[in-house]
Amino acid sequence: MLLNNFNLTLDGLLRIMFRWQKIAWIVLILSLTVNMYIALSIPLKYESEVIIQRKQVRFSSSVEDKEFDITRLTSEIQRTVTLLKSRFMIEKWNDALKMTSSDPDINEKNISKLRNSLAVKPVNFTDFFVIKVKTPDPRESERKADVLAKVYISWDLDQSRQQAQQMISLLSNRMKLIRKDLSELRGKQKLYKRGEVLNLSGSVAVEEMQASLQAKEKLYDTLTFEMEQAERQLEGDKLRQIHIIATPTVSLKPIIPRSKLILIAIVLSLILMFQSIIFMEWQDPSVRRIGDIYGLSNTDNVITIPRLGKIEYWEKDYAAFFTPVLSSILSTMESKGFCLVHILSPAHGDGKTAIGSLLAKTVALSNKSCCLINLDVKKTVDLSNKILESSGVSYFQMEPDKQEFEKVIGQLRRTYQAVFLDIASHHGGYFCNNHERQADITCLIVKAGKTSRNLLKTSIMRLSSNTNQKLTYILNYYEEPIPKWLRR
């Protein structure tokens, strides 16, 4: 497919828009209907938010406080966001809201809705988190945000209690080992004091044993203090790492107002309309403008003929459209005394016979003897007869036989000043190859909106080999898409 590529100007853009305005209006009405229905029926969403803070709990006084450590904050942020948006937490949230269903499909649908309604945003370089929940009902949004915060706090508190219990168990085992070591050291100390194991190095051993005993006792006291602290934290509420800083609040103004949804629907419909215009123009293979002919032929010898309606109305000022061609025909007749005009078209139905007949009739009205040979007799006899009625143009019909055609052309050259040859599109190759070089003027008829650019390109390549003839392109059925009130 030959794509419709050209340099786009403002007038060109307007022509494209008005050329496809029927399809554009259909697309606009359909898309606007669908988009407006969606915009008016879609429920408005309200957003509630709750701010929570995650504080580090120290189970031991010997653990260094790293509240503002960036590594710790990054790790806690990732952990908290991942947990809040995990399926595990969403299911707990779903259970707390009493939305659990025995039907797996319904349950999955509820979990998916909750996940889509949730947004967790950490505040940079802090241990604060903003939890946002979107629902069609503002109060329901506020309730769901509050339930989620409480579910997460309860779960995290259970985790902290388990860690505290593990810490107590660890401290207890450690203290048992230290008590055993203390008992052994104290037993040895008594033996040394009784003098039962006195020797030369006894005083040094006693001092080392005394130092080890003091260190063990100090460590035992420290572990005892940490044990008491962990037990107190386990009994109270000091294990809470998650704290609600700002209770759930909700705005009564929807996230996207209805007016904005309507505006979005209108904009999307307009975009779809323009996309349909661009698509139709891009896919259109036919010749529709003079620029298409200019781009393929590199010539400016192009005339346009508008859609004139019924044949009986063609008598009115039709000659004005053919002025450049008529001038070339008359000038050739004056210089040579004879002019052979070929009327060609890439395909049937381009208006070739009607234009050829009108040209012959116009020349005849200038007191010139001319004739029209119609080789496309199967389709256009009635049309030619009707146009040439009472015009003084001799009209011949013949089959495209090579020998007979040679005889007829020789006789007509001696009888008439101008001969118009209406060649059928399916015989164009034969006559172009054999008689095109004899033609003084060739008119290639192109019907706007029907003739494809591929066919036109093929015809131009075939005709361009003859440089002695005058080639004129006639764009038939041309309609200016831009309304008169908008033309410049």
Question: Which tokens hold the place of 300?
Answer: 């400016």
Q: Locate tokens 């294990």: which residue? A: 239
Q: Residue 260 — very low, low, confident or very high, per pLDDT cuts 50/70/90? A: very high
Asked if the model's pLDDT at residue 468 lies above 80, the reply is: no
Asked if the model's pLDDT at residue 305 lies above 50, the reply is: yes
Q: What is the pLDDT of residue 398?
A: 73
Q: What is the pLDDT of residue 232?
A: 67
CA gap 221, 211 in Å, rounded: 16
Q: What is the pLDDT of residue 87?
A: 92
Closest CA to 304 of 247, 268, 355, 342: 355
Helix H or strand E encompassing 408: helix 402-415
pLDDT tens sequence across 396-439:
777 666 666 677 777 888 888 898 888 766 554 444 455 556 77
- Average pLDDT over the chain reads 79
CA gap 188, 347 in Å, rounded: 121
Cβ-based neighbours of 266, under 8 Å, separated by 6 or more: 32, 35
Average pLDDT estimate for 131-148: 92
Asked if the model's pLDDT at residue 299 lies above 70, the reply is: yes
Supply the Cα-derived Rg of the chain in whole angstroms.
49
Q: Provide the 8-state DSSP code for 57.
A: P
pLDDT tens sequence across 318-354:
667 788 888 888 888 888 888 988 888 887 778 888 8
CA gap 481, 488 in Å, rounded: 13
- Residue pair 377/397 in contact (Cβ under 8 Å)? The answer is yes
CA gap 347, 436 in Å, rounded: 18
Q: What is the pLDDT of residue 226?
A: 77
Residue % of the chain over a pLDDT of 70: 78
Cβ-based neighbours of 359, under 8 Å, separated by 6 or more: 322, 325, 326, 329, 341, 343, 420, 443
CA gap 185, 210 in Å, rounded: 8
Asked if the model's pLDDT at residue 252 lies above 90, the reply is: no
- Residue pair 229/62 in contact (Cβ under 8 Å)? The answer is no
Q: Residue 101 — very low, low, confident or very high, per pLDDT cuts 50/70/90? A: confident
Q: What is the pLDDT of residue 1?
A: 38
Q: What is the pLDDT of residue 235?
A: 64
pTM comes to: 0.63
Helix H or strand E encompassing 93: helix 87-96
Average pLDDT estimate for 185-201: 62
CA gap 419, 333 in Å, rounded: 11
Three-state DSSP state, 42? coil
- Residue pair 299/471 in contact (Cβ under 8 Å)? The answer is yes
Q: What is the dihedral of CA 418, 421, 422, 424, to 10 degrees?
A: -170
Average pLDDT estimate for 269-298: 86
Q: What is the dihedral of CA 434, 438, 440, 445, to 10 degrees?
A: -10
Q: What is the pLDDT of residue 18?
A: 87
Asked if the model's pLDDT at residue 213 lies above 80, the reply is: no
Average pLDDT estimate for 373-386: 62
Closest CA to 469 of 295, 341, 343: 341
Distances (CA, A) of 29 to 24, 33, 38: 9, 6, 14
Asked if the model's pLDDT at residue 119 lies above 70, the reply is: yes
Question: Which tokens hold the place of 335?
Answer: 């210089």
pLDDT tens sequence across 52-70:
887 765 544 444 455 555 6
Q: Residue 30 — very low, low, confident or very high, per pLDDT cuts 50/70/90? A: very high
Domains and CATH numbers, the chain: 10-43+256-283 (no CATH), 46-250 (3.30.1890), 290-486 (3.40.50.300)
What is the end-to-end Cα distance of the chain in Å, rounded? 33
Please name the amino acid found at residue 486. Answer: L
Asked if the model's pLDDT at residue 15 lies above 90, the reply is: no
Q: Locate tokens 């006291």: which residue? A: 221
Compare 32 and 125 and report the one with higher pLDDT. Answer: 32
Asked if the model's pLDDT at residue 358 lies above 70, the reply is: yes
User: How many distinct helices (H) and strands (E) make up the chain?
Assistant: 15, 11
Residues pairing with 131 in the sheet? 50, 120
Asked if the model's pLDDT at residue 180 lies above 70, the reply is: yes
Average pLDDT estimate for 429-458: 74
Average pLDDT estimate for 462-469: 68
Q: What is the pLDDT of residue 313?
A: 45
Selection from 9-13, 15-19, 82-86, 266-270 with the highest mean pLDDT: 266-270
Q: What is the pLDDT of residue 449?
A: 83
Q: What is the pLDDT of residue 108?
A: 92
Helices 70-84 and 138-194 pack at an angle, to 10 degrees, of: 130
